[in-house]
Chain A
Amino acid sequence: MDLLAQVLINGVLLGGLYAVMALGLALVWGVLNIVNLAHGAFIMLGAYLAWHLYTYLGIDPFLGLPLTAIVMFCVGYALQRGLLNLIVRAPMFNTLLITFGLEVVLTYLAQLAFSADFRTINPPYAGNSIALGPLVVPLARLMAFGVAAALTVGMWLFLLRTTLGRAIRATAQNLVAARLYGVAPRHLYAVTFGIGIGLAGAAGSLYGTVSQINPYIGATLTAKCFAIAIIGGLDNPLGVLVGGLVLGIIESLTVLYIGATYDDVASFGVLVLVLIVRPTGLLGKTA
């Protein structure tokens, strides 16, 4: 019984981490209809940035989260404005192809700049845990979960309540009408993508404290984030949190009851199931 409870706790906390990673992807996809296959590579870059801030300037990865996010926001803004805006109205899979190409380039540049060595962000409290009777709650993951919840609620409020958020949603729904109302679409698209990449950077900072960083983690992370975003539904940032939790718990239980080699079968299997049965996701509106 204790083992089950512990595994469930592991699953929930893993879900929080997953949610942070997928938030940026879901935002960009759900709002801009841009499917970013390079999302994992941006998480990787954010992780490296946080590592450099921690190692050379001593900035704690959690406290330095806003800084990492802002730098990555600028990177995302520039990329959208300079490159991705050029193909927004092209056929759908062009964004998939171009972001794939980006992923290859970013991974290569990262390997060139940072070499293939592993890095970890190891603040002194990273390995601590809180004991709840016989159960153990890892501190770093708990904090990541807190950040995930805060960011998710923040994004939800942003999109629904603020002027900028509404402008972004309006532009995504009807470009022409938005333009008629004086919205500058190029700028808005770039801002949205920037926010998405900023979130990826924040996720990278957290990822580096609980796992290890190397230039090649991008592809697997992207695949996971897809599963999470779709399972939760792209309409609503809260869906990402749900998707992350569902996936985290399912994976942890699969390893416990079925076997540790079945974790990918479980995650992608659930993804296929959701797509077939309810493509808009658990929290999405039925089309």
Chain B
Amino acid sequence: MARTALRASGALFALALALSATPTFAQDIVLGASVQLTGPVANTGRYYKDAYDFAIDKINAAGGVKVGNTKRKLALKLYDNQSDVNLSVRQYTQLVSQDKVNLLLGPFASNFALADSAVSEKYRVPMVQGGGASDQIFSRKFKYIFGTLAPASNYFASTIDMLKQLEPAPKSVALLYADDAFDVSVAQGTRPLLQEAGLKIAIDARYSSNASDFNSLLSQIKSVNADVVLVAGHETEILNFVRQAKSLAVAPKMYSFTVGVPSEDFRKALGKDADYAFGMTAWLPNANLKDRWFGDAAQFATAYKAKYGYDPDYHAASGVADVEAVAQAIENAGSVEPQKVRDALAKLNFPSLYGTIAFAANGQIDLPQVVIQVQGDKLVAVYGGKGFIVKPNYPMPAWNAR
């Protein structure tokens, strides 16, 4: 009995020595996120998971993030919120209080970001999100929420600038918008811009999110002969809108959509019917957007497509920008402590494949939108900060004349 005890304690002693002699590894920095991988908005939500994974892998491959004198790798803890806002809020709370992640990355969609930012503010852990553009998210004087999507109210600004310079000049506009946070913000910002530009708002219609039937609205657009149709909505609605416009032979001189046009998936679903559609994006895979980890935006796009099989659009680029912003802020602060990282995020200003990452005082980035158009089977940048880049296909011909 005594001999066994002696042997056991000897073994334990040896084990303790062995363990204490093991060199301690630098702990991974864990970023937490709750993203829509299933459920009705999953078709865009999943871009964020891919983007976060891609960026973290690239940064780790380059050695990781420098915190003071040590280099630490990034890790991602991701939950699927099944497109349920309440679950998303609970998951962010779990990430902070149980999983004890260091910092937070955001979900897709403004209504999610609106709800989830309450968690980051409550627990004082900074969240960098690239999925919510609604001005409402940033108007509550929260200190711990940062966004890499340009303000919703500005989405149509460059498009309206372009309208002023088109021949024949458009006179009347039909403004359609869904009733969720993002699209209402877009409409609120667009109205004064239209009035300044001297364009008459012939139809100003709010419709239910997830509406599938636009026939009544399209008939009204036709009867007032609107020259321009601006739609702020979700991809499913805009898809239905375009198809029903064709079947009702409604062809305004031009139409522009806040989402859909930049994404490959959307253009493929519409096929040839996508032609002539205008949209906007704050990001294009331009080789002159230089990046510390990816080289430049064009190289990023090629590598991304090679890995995931689809072209990245601005959602993916925004997701990558979030991770880069966090990494850069940690390095600038020399620490992973939430308060210090938060202050570093507020002062960030560095070039990346997404453009210059710098947050305004309210936490939102400000980037101009470039007007894009589907021309044939290509997506072309048409109008930017310096005027026309390429001639737009305007006016749109009647459907049976294509």
Q: Are B269 and A118 neighbours in the complex by a CB distance under 8 Å?
A: yes
Kindly identify, within residues 226 to 250 of chain B, every residue whose CB is under 8 Å from any CB belonging to chain A: 235-236, 239-240, 243-244, 246-249
Q: How far is the CA of A78 from the CA of B273 in the complex (A)?
A: 40
Contact A255-B249, Cβ < 8 Å, known A111-B42, A118-B236, A120-B270: no
Beyond A108-B38, A251-B213, whether A120 also contacts B243 by CB under 8 A is yes
Partner pick for A129 among B207, B239, B248, CB 8 A cutoff? B248
Q: Which of A7, A126, A214 contacts B236 (CB 8 A)?
A: A214
Tell yes or no: A174 within 8 A of B by CB: no
* Closest chain B residue to A117, Cβ basis: B265
From B156-164, B191-199, B217-225, give the one contacting chain A. B217-225
Q: With a CB–CB cut-off of 8 A, which chain B residues contact A6?
A: 219, 222-223
Chain B residue at minimal CB-CB distance from A111: B38
User: How distant is the Cα of A131 from the Cα of B248 in the complex, in angstroms?
Assistant: 9
Contacts of B42 in A (CB 8 A): 111, 116
Whether A140 is near chain B, meaning CB under 8 Å from some CB there, is yes
Q: Which of A119-168 contact B (CB under 8 A)?
A: 119-120, 122, 126-129, 131, 136, 138-141
Which of the residues A116, A131, A136 comes within 8 Å of B46, measured between beta carbons? A116
Partner-binding segment picked from A38-46, A87-95, A256-264: A256-264
CB-based contact A136/B206 at 8 Å: no
Q: Taking the complex as formed, is A286 at the interface, i.e. its CB lies under 8 A from any CB of chain B?
A: no
Does A264 lie within 8 Å of B208, measured CB to CB? Answer: yes
In the bound complex, CA of A131 to CA of B139 (Å): 50
Cα–Cα distance between A118 and B43 once the two chains are bound (Å): 8
Count of interface residues, chain B, beta-carbon cutoff 8 Å: 39
- A252 close to B243 (CB less than 8 A): no
Q: Within 8 Å CB of A256, what residues of B?
A: 216, 219-220
The A-B contact count (CB < 8 A) is: 107
Q: How far is the CB of A257 from chain B (nearest CB, A)?
A: 9
Could you say which of A2, A119, A120 has the most chain B C-beta atoms within 10 Å of its C-beta? A120
* Chain A residues with CB under 8 A of B222: 6
Contact of B243 with A7 in the complex, beta carbons under 8 Å: no
A211 to B211, CA, bound (A): 11
What is the distance, in angstroms, from A281's C-beta to the closest C-beta of chain B? Answer: 23
Whole-angstrom distance from the CB of B122 to the nearest CB of chain A? 31
Our pick among B38, B220, B266, B273 for the contact of A118 (Cβ within 8 Å) is B266
Q: What 1/0 mask marks residues of chain B from 88 to 127 whose CB sits below 8 Å from any chain A CB?
A: 0000000000000000000000000000000000000000
Complex Cα distance, B210 from A161, in Å, reads 41
A216's nearest neighbour on chain B, judged by CB, is B40
- Tell me the bound Cα distance from A138 to B216 in angstroms: 13
Bound-state CA distance A116–B286 (Å) is 28
- Nearest-CB distance from A284 to chain B (Å)? 27
| Interface size classification for chain A | 35 or more
For A138, give its contact among B205, B248, B269 (CB under 8 Å): B248
- Decide if B213 touches A14 in the complex (CB within 8 Å): yes
Q: In the complex, A126 Cα to B249 Cα: how many Å?
A: 12
Asked if B165 CB lies within 8 Å of chain A CBs, one says no
User: For the complex, is A3 an interface residue (Cβ under 8 Å from B)?
Assistant: yes
Q: Which residues from chain A contact B243 at a C-beta distance below 8 Å? A: 120, 126-127, 210-212
Contact between B215 and A127 (Cβ–Cβ < 8 Å)? Answer: no
> In the complex, what's the smallest C-beta–C-beta distance from B164 to chain A, in angstroms?
28
A57 to B223 CA separation, bound complex (whole angstroms): 40
Q: Which residues of A contact B46 (CB under 8 A)?
A: 116
Complex Cα–Cα for A251 and B269 (A): 27
B239 touches A212 (CB 8 A): yes
In the complex formed, the residue of A with least CB distance to B210 is A220
Q: Would you list which residues of chain A between 208 and 234 have a CB under 8 Å from chain B?
A: 210-212, 214, 216, 220
Closest to B39 in A: A216
Q: Does B394 contact A (CB under 8 A)?
A: no
Q: Which residues on the A side are within 8 Å of B39 (C-beta)?
A: 216
Majority SS at the chain B contact face? helix
> Which residue in chain A gives the minimum CB-CB distance to B177?
A260
Q: Give CA–CA (A141, B39) in the complex, Å.
A: 28
* A10 interface residue per 8 A CB criterion: yes
B53 interfacial contact with A, CB 8 Å: no
B98 to A: closest C-beta gap in Å: 26
- Asked, given contacts A138-B247, A252-B216, whether A260 binds B43 with beta carbons under 8 Å apart, the answer is no
- Report yes or no: A261 in contact with B207, Cβ–Cβ below 8 A: yes
Within the complex, which residue of A118, A129, A220 is in contact with B247, where a contact is CB–CB below 8 Å?
A: A129
Interface string of A1-13 (1 = CB under 8 A from B): 0110011001000
Tell me, rounded to whole Å, the shortest Cβ–Cβ distance linking A70 to chain B.
Answer: 27
Task: Point out the residue from B236, B240, B247, B266 that lies within 8 Å of A139, measured CB to CB.
Answer: B247
Q: Which residues of A contact B210 (CB under 8 A)?
A: 220
> Is the CB–CB distance between A10 and B219 below 8 Å?
yes
Residues in chain B near residue A126, CB distance under 8 A: 243, 247
User: Once bound together, how far apart are the Cα atoms of A127 and B248, in whole Å?
Assistant: 8
A216–B210 alpha-carbon span in the complex (Å): 11
Return B223 CB to nearest CB of chain A, in Å: 4
Contacts A111-B42, A259-B206; A10 near B215 (Cβ below 8 A): yes
A33 to chain B, nearest CB (A): 30
Contact with A along B247-279 (1 / 0, CB 8 A): 111000000000000000110011101000000
Q: Which of A108, A111, A118, A211 contacts B265 (CB 8 A)?
A: A118
Q: Which residues of chain A from 181 to 216 have any CB-CB distance to chain B below 8 Å in the complex?
A: 210-212, 214, 216
B179 at interface, CB cutoff 8 A: yes
Asked if B179 and A261 sit within 8 Å, CB to CB, the answer is yes
Measured between beta carbons, the chain B residues less than 8 angstroms from A138 are 215, 244, 247-248
16 A-B pairs within 8 Å (CB atoms) are namely A3-B223, A14-B213, A108-B38, A116-B43, A118-B235, A118-B236, A126-B243, A131-B249, A136-B249, A210-B243, A211-B212, A214-B40, A251-B213, A260-B205, A261-B179, A263-B211
Residues in chain A within 8 A of chain B (CB atoms): 2-3, 6-7, 10, 14, 108, 111, 115-120, 122, 126-129, 131, 136, 138-141, 210-212, 214, 216, 220, 251-252, 255-256, 259-261, 263-264
Given contacts A118-B265, A212-B243, list 4 more A-B pairs with CB under 8 A: A6-B222, A252-B213, A252-B216, A264-B208
